[in-house]
Amino acid sequence: KLTKYVEKNKKNPVYMYTDLMREGTDEQLIEAINIILKKYKQPKIQAIYGANAAILQKDFEAARCKVKPVANTELGQYTMALIEAMTGKREEAMKFHLKKDWMNASIEANLAYTEQDYETFNRQADRAIDEAAGMQYYSNYYVFKRMMDKINEA
């Protein structure tokens, strides 16, 4: 159901980006983010999507700078924890108090991925997917599928 909805609405840059998470390359995702950033000037969108583009490029310092304007929001806190997790900084990643179960599971999954603990990664990724709903479920499913594909390619 969600896949059909996303496909039907991919003229909207946000849904185009979401659809590319399913089968696009990192380069295509970055390109889609750039379209979002040109179209939507709201500070929250600029911060979160700007940080996402930097994360995809593995420029974690730039990601930290991009997310700063929304650091006190729930999504800002999650993004900052995610950056710490993706750089293997377990202690720093766990300092953030995330209210949603899917966010905590996602951080744990990303830490496990970085630590190459793939059993924990699978368990926490499944939890992050199961605890989410709607578009977040869709996003989590394909983000973690992309990560699993990278594990299987190695």
Q: Label residue 124 by pLDDT band (50, 70, 90).
A: very high
- Assess contact for 33 and 49: CB atoms under 8 A: yes
Task: Please tell me the pTM assigned to this model.
Answer: 0.93
User: 14-45: per-residue pLDDT in tens?
Assistant: 999 999 999 899 999 999 999 999 999 999 99
Q: Label residue 147 by pLDDT band (50, 70, 90).
A: very high
- Assess contact for 76 and 67: CB atoms under 8 A: yes
Q: Label residue 3 by pLDDT band (50, 70, 90).
A: confident
- Assess contact for 125 and 147: CB atoms under 8 A: yes
As a whole number of angstroms, the distance between CA 14 and CA 29 comes to 11
As a whole number of angstroms, the distance between CA 64 and CA 103 comes to 18
Give the per-residue pLDDT at 10: 84
